[in-house]
Amino acid sequence: MEIEGGYLISDPNGVKVYLMEGPPAYSFDLAGLPQALPGKFAGLSIEAVDFEGTVDFWRILGYQETMGSVEQGWIAMENGSGIGISVMKAMTCPHLFFNPGLTFFNAGNNLSVIQKIRKVGIPIAEEIRVLNDSNLVDNIIVCDPGGLGFFIFND
């Protein structure tokens, strides 16, 4: 769809992408920003019904695989913009999946992040226990009022 200054397109899952003409209106240099409450921003996560078509779509936009593979059912991709994309086959994750979701990785420090989220009263949509052997809630998913999910995970 043509819009003022560019185009609005979507990937095979309905994830909106704005292709704008000219220099970016803002920068995604996240390195100098303080860490947000959910932790370190790692990019978008997309659950894909058409996995290969979704990967091809993001490749056309200049994203290249950095981890995972089509055979594994998940791929992490980057294009130098500072916004990484993780694509997973539909129904492979053992937790809620808001599509797309913002992903935050906390390098083993997720328990303190979860404690801060609880302290400020942010509702938790799902407590995840399946990714460790001790049945400990060490990953969570929250959802903003508009329906955008935040995956807050250890990496």
Kindly report, residue by residue over 81-92, the tens digit of the pLDDT: 778 999 999 988
pTM: 0.83
CA distances to 45, 93, 109 from 99, rounded to whole Å, are: 7, 12, 25
Q: How confident is the model at residue 32 (pLDDT cuts 50, 70, 90)?
A: low
CA distances to 5, 78, 112, 148 from 125, rounded to whole Å, are: 37, 28, 18, 11
Identify the CATH assignment for 41-93 out of 3.10.180.10, 3.40.1710.10, 3.30.70.980, 3.40.630.10. Answer: 3.10.180.10
CATH 3.10.180.10 domain span(s) along the chain: 41-93, 101-155
Q: How confident is the model at residue 22 (pLDDT cuts 50, 70, 90)?
A: confident
- Residue with tokens 């292709």, as numbered in its chain: 19
pLDDT(4) > 90:
yes
Q: How confident is the model at residue 119 (pLDDT cuts 50, 70, 90)?
A: very high
CA angle, 145 then 148 then 154, to 5°: 115
CATH class, range 101-155 = alpha beta
The confidence score (pLDDT) of residue 52 equals 94
Adjacent-strand bridge partners of 150? 102, 142
